[in-house]
Amino acid sequence: MSETEKRALTCEVRAEAGEEGQPLRIIGHGAVFNKRSEMIMGMFKEQIAPGAFDNVLGDDVRALFNHDPNFVLGRTLSNTLSLSVDEEGLRYEIDPPDTQSVRDLVMAPLARGDITGSSFAFRVAPDGDEWGEDEHGVIVRTIHRFSRLLDVSPVTYPAYPDAGAAKRSLQARCDELREITQRAVNQRRARERFLELINA
């Protein structure tokens, strides 16, 4: 099973008044198509191809605030979250619960423009991405197909500029690479020390 990843981008996310007597809704884009992220972990940029979400729009997806599973705003299974794809990317509409905490911590900052980012958590399908290099020597990952869409989230700190999409959890892979590098360095040092001891 592929690893869960997240992306966070600056994109339109807003509170919008419903029909008279209806509570506010949260509307935004969790991801945008054909726009590159900023450099991820200093190693590569990423973009999402149109069609990447086609197989996951029917998933049981949660809407969370800041990816916090204790702060549920909606869910596709309960029809309080709807997902669709438009020309821009993955669009979501949330009918959040009408509670004081949601009004104070989410809706008021959204209405004021204090929260402007969005995010989504996902898994990439096997062979669902490709890696290449552009004319400037920048490594670019293009995601063509997701295997799972886990959540969409309005977020306080978006990481990338062009969408309301997630905060990358490539962290595990980068930690693994750091660990491999550190292990190689430690092994080299151990060999050097061993040679020093036997040649002393």
Question: Which residue reads 């402007």 in tokens?
Answer: 116
pLDDT tens, the chain, 200 aa long: 567 777 666 566 766 665 555 567 899 898 889 988 877 777 888 999 999 999 999 999 999 999 999 999 999 999 999 999 999 999 999 999 989 999 899 988 988 888 888 888 899 999 999 999 889 888 999 999 999 999 999 988 765 444 433 333 344 445 555 665 666 666 667 667 666 766 66
> What is the spatial distance between Cα 53 and Cα 71, in angstroms, rounded to a whole number?
24
* DSSP code string of 124-175: EPTT-EEEEE-TTS-EEEEE--EEEEEEEEEESS--BSSSS-B---THHHHH
Question: Which residue reads 């979501």 in tokens?
Answer: 92
> What is the spatial distance between Cα 126 and Cα 145, in angstroms, rounded to a whole number?
9
> What is the spatial distance between Cα 60 and Cα 192, in angstroms, rounded to a whole number?
54
The answer to whether the CB of 163 falls within 8 A of the CB of 171 is no
Instruction: List the strands of the sheet with 5-10, edge to edge.
Output: 5-10, 117-124, 146-155, 62-65, 68-75
Kindly report the pTM of this predicted structure.
0.71
Closest residue by Cα to residue 120 from 15, 32, 1: 32
